Amino acid sequence: MASNTAEVPRKAGGPAGWISVAVPAALFAWFLQYVGPVSEGEQILLGIDWVPSMDIRLSVLIDGLSLTFALLIAGIGTLVTLFSTAYLGKHPDYPRFVLFLMAFMVGMLGLVLSDNLIALFVFWEVTTISSYLLIGFDNASAKSRRSALQALLLTGAGGLALLAGMILLGHVAGTFELSEILTQGEAIRAHPLYVPIVILFLLGAFTKSAQFPFHFWLPNAMAAPTPVSAYLHSATMVKGGVYLLARVNPALGDSELWFWTLIVAGGFTTVFASLLAIRQTDIKQVLAYTTLMALGALTLFIGTGSPDAIKGMMVFLVVHSLYKAALFLMIGIVDHETGTREVDRLRGLGRKMPLTFLGGALAAISMAGIPPFVGFIGKEFLYKAGLGHEQATVWITGTIFAASALMFVAAGIAVLRPFTGRLSDTPRPAHEGPWVMWIGPLILGALSLGFGLFPDMVERFLVAPGTWAVYGDYDYTVDLYLFREVNAAFLLSLATFATGIVLYLVHARLRAALARIIAANPVKFDPGWDRLIDGIKALAAWQTRHLQSGVLQRYMLIVFATLTVALGGTIWAQGALDFRIDFAAEFDGLLFKHWAVLIFITAGALLTAYTGSRMTAIAALGVVGIGVALIFIMFSAPDVAITQLLVETLVVVLVAVAMLKLPNLNLGDEPRRPGHAVLSIATGAVVSAVLIAVLQGDLDRRITDYFEVASWPDAYGRNIVNVILVDFRALDTFGEIAVVVIAALAAYALLRGTRYGGDAADKDGGR
Amino acid sequence: MVNSIILNAATRLLVALLLLFSVFMLLRGHNLPGGGFIGGLIGATGFILYAIAQGAEATRAALRVEPQNIAMVGLGIALCAGGFAAFFGEAFFTGQWLFIGETEEDKGLPISSVLVFDIGVYLVVFGSILTLVLALEEEV
Mean pLDDT score of chain A:
83
- For residues A340 and A349, what is the distance between their CA atoms, to the nearest angstrom? 12
Q: How many residues would you count in chain B? A: 140
Q: What tens digit of pLDDT does each residue of A376-397 get?
A: 888 888 888 888 777 778 888 8
**Bridge partners (DSSP) listed for residue A51:** A56
Q: What is the pLDDT of residue A667?
A: 63
- Asked if the peptide bond before residue A213 counts as cis, ω within 30 degrees of 0, the response is yes
Measured between alpha carbons, how far is A763 from A761 in angstroms, rounded to an integer?
Answer: 5
Inter-chain CB proximity B38 and A723 less than 8 Å? no
Give the dihedral of Cα atoms A716, A719, A721, A722; nearest 10 deg.
-60
**In this predicted structure, what is the pLDDT of residue A666?**
65
Q: Helix, strand, coil shares of chain A as percentages rounded to 5?
A: 75, 5, 20
Convert the pLDDT of each residue in A595-638 to its tens digit: 899 999 999 999 988 887 888 888 898 899 999 999 998 888 88
| Ramachandran assignment for A91, one of left (phi > 0), alpha (psi -120 to 50 degrees), beta (any other) | beta
CA dist A527 and A221 (Å) reads: 15
Q: Would you give the end-to-end CA distance of chain A in angstroms?
A: 23
Chain B residues in contact with A745 (beta carbon < 8 A) = 68, 71, 131
pLDDT > 90? residue A365: no
**Please, what sign has the CA dihedral across residues A132, A134, A140, A142?**
negative
Compare CB distances from B135 to A643, A722, A752 and report the shortest one's residue. A752
Task: For A491, list phi and psi in degrees, rounded to 5.
Answer: -65, -40
CA distance A414 to A441: 14
- Nearest-by-CA chain A residue for B47: A650
Q: Is residue A539 pLDDT above 90, yes or no?
A: yes
Q: Where are the alpha helices (DSSP H) in A472-551?
A: 488-505, 507-520, 525-547
- pLDDT grade, residue A763 (50/70/90)? very low
Residue of B nearest to A749 (CA): B135
Between chains, do B72 and A741 touch, taking CB under 8 Å as contact?
Answer: yes
CA distance A265 to A282: 26
Span A703-718, average pLDDT:
80
Out of A650, A737, A747, whose CB is closest to B45? Answer: A650
A707: chain B residues, CB-CB within 8 Å: none
Q: Tell me the β-bridge partners of A58.
A: A48
B42 touches chain A (CB under 8 A): yes
Residues of chain B with Cβ-Cβ distance to A717 below 8 Å are 30-31, 114
Contacts with A176 (C-beta within 8 Å, 6 or more apart), sequence order? A55, A56, A57, A116, A117, A118, A166, A170
ipTM here: 0.90
Task: With cut-offs at 50, 70 and 90, classify the pLDDT of residue B140.
Answer: low
- Please indicate whether, in this complex, the C-beta atoms of A646 and B42 are within 8 angstroms of each other: yes
What mean pLDDT comes out for the span A175-192? 85
SS3 A152: helix
Distance CA A173, CA A188 (A): 7
Q: B14 and chain A: CB distance < 8 Å anywhere?
A: no
More confident site: A659 or A737: A737
pLDDT at B1: 59
Q: What is the mean pLDDT of residues A164-181?
A: 89
Cα distance between residue A86 and residue A438, in whole Å: 10
Contact B140 A658 (CB under 8 A): yes
pLDDT tens per residue across span A84-127: 888 887 888 888 888 898 999 999 999 998 888 888 999 999 99
pLDDT over 90 (residue A160): yes
Give the mean pLDDT of chain B: 86
pLDDT digits (tens, 9 = 90+) for B55-88: 888 899 989 999 999 999 999 999 998 888 878 7
At residue A48, φ and ψ (nearest 5 deg) are -130, 155
Say whether residue B37 is in contact with chain A using an 8 A CB cutoff. Answer: yes
Please check whether residue A101 is in contact with residue A93, taking contact to mean a CB–CB distance below 8 angstroms. no
* Each residue's pLDDT tens digit, A646-665: 888 888 887 877 777 777 66
Domain ranges within chain B, ordered by starting residue: 5-139
**B97-100/B109-112 β-pairing:** antiparallel
| Neighbouring residues of A702: CB distance < 8 A, sequence distance ≥ 6 | none
pLDDT digits (tens, 9 = 90+) for A321-345: 888 888 888 888 888 888 888 877 7
- Looking at the predicted structure, is the pLDDT value of residue A764 above 60? no
Q: Please determine, for residue A758, whether its predicted confidence score (pLDDT) is greater than 50.
A: no
Residue A223 has what pLDDT? 80
pLDDT at A760 over 50: no
CA-derived radius of gyration, chain A: 34
pLDDT tens digits for range B79-112: 998 888 878 777 787 777 777 777 767 667 778 8
Residues 735-754 of A with CB under 8 A from B: 737-738, 740-741, 743-745, 747-748, 751-752, 754
Query: Does the pLDDT of residue A13 top 60, yes or no?
Result: no
For the ranges A259-273, A360-374, A481-495, the maximum mean pLDDT occurs at A259-273
For the beta carbon of residue A381, count every other beta carbon within 10 angstroms.
25
Cα distances (Å, whole numbers) of residue A292 to A295, A320, A324: 5, 11, 11
What confidence tens digit (pLDDT) does each residue in A431-468 have? 777 888 888 888 888 888 888 888 777 777 777 888 88
Between residues 600 and 639 of chain A, which touch chain B (CB distance below 8 Å)?
638-639
| A197-225: average pLDDT | 87
Alpha helix locations (H) across A13-116?
A: 14-32, 35-39, 64-87, 94-113
DSSP one-letter code for A61: E
- The number of CA neighbours under 13 Å toward the Cβ of A438 is 17
pLDDT per residue as tens digits for the range A233-278: 777 888 888 889 888 888 888 888 888 889 889 888 988 888 888 8
Share of chain A above pLDDT 90, in %: 13
Our separate counts of H helices and E strands in chain A read 34, 2
pLDDT at A4: 40
Closest chain B residue by Cα to residue A661: B140
Give DSSP secondary structure letters for A394-434. HHHHHHHHHHHHHHHHHHIIIIIHHHSSSPPP-SS---PPP
Q: Kindly report the three-state secondary structure assignment for every residue of A275-314.
A: HHHHHCCEHHHHHHHHHHHHHHHHHHHHHHCCHHHHHHHH
Considering only CB atoms, which chain B residues are within 8 Å of A719? Answer: 29-35
A721 part of contact set with chain B, CB < 8 Å = yes
Interface of B with A in 48-87 (CB under 8 A): 48, 52, 68, 71-72, 74-75, 78-79, 82
By Cβ distance, the residue of B31, B45, B121 closest to A717 is: B31
A637 interaction partners in chain B (CB closer than 8 Å) = none
Q: Is A56 left (phi over 0), alpha (psi -120 to 50) or beta?
A: beta
- Residue A757's pLDDT is 46
Report the pLDDT value the prediction gives residue A1, as an integer from 0 to 100: 37
Instruction: Tell me the residue length of chain A.
Output: 767
Residue B28 and residue B63 in contact, taking contact as beta carbons nearer than 8 Å? no
What is the 3-state secondary structure of chain B?
Answer: CCCCHHHHHHHHHHHHHHHHHHHHHHHHCCCCCCCHHHHHHHHHHHHHHHHHHHCHHHHHHHHCCCHHHHHHHHHHHHHHHHHHHHHHCCCCCCCCEEEECCCCCCCCEEEEHHHHHHHHHHHHHHHHHHHHHHHHHHHC
Q: Give burial (CB, 10 Å; 0-12/13-18/19+) of A139.
A: exposed
Q: Give yes or no for residue A142 having a pLDDT over 60.
A: yes
Alpha carbon separation from A166 to A251, A656, B140 (Å, rounded): 12, 54, 54
Is the pLDDT higher at A130 or at A454? A130
Window 79-138 of B, Cβ < 8 Å to A: 79, 82, 92-93, 95, 97, 107, 110, 112, 114-115, 117-118, 120-121, 124-125, 127-129, 131-133, 135-138
Element (H, E) at A45: strand A44-51
Burial of A676 (0-12, 13-18, 19+ CB in 10 A): middle
Q: Mark B84-119 as b/e (b = at least 16 C-beta within 10 Å).
A: bbeeeeeeebbbeeeeeeeeeeeeeebebbbbbbbb
pLDDT at residue A739, rounded to an integer: 94
Q: Tell me what pLDDT residue A9 has.
A: 45
**Count of CB atoms within 10 A of residue A434's CB?**
16
Please report which confidence band the pLDDT of residue A55 belongs to, taking 50, 70 and 90 as the band edges.
low
Contact A132, A149 (CB under 8 A): yes
What pLDDT score does B112 carry? 84
For the entire predicted model, the pTM comes to 0.71
Does B35 reach chain A within 8 Å, measured CB to CB?
yes
Is residue A737 within 8 Å of B78, Cβ to Cβ?
Answer: yes
CB atoms A741 and B128 under 8 Å: yes
Which member of A653, A719, A751 has the closest CB to residue B32?
A719
Positive/negative CA dihedral, A524, A525, A531, A532: positive
> Residue A565, CB half-sphere, CA atoms under 13 Å: how many?
6
Q: Quick one: CA torsion of A19, A25, A26, A28, rounded to 10 degrees?
A: 150
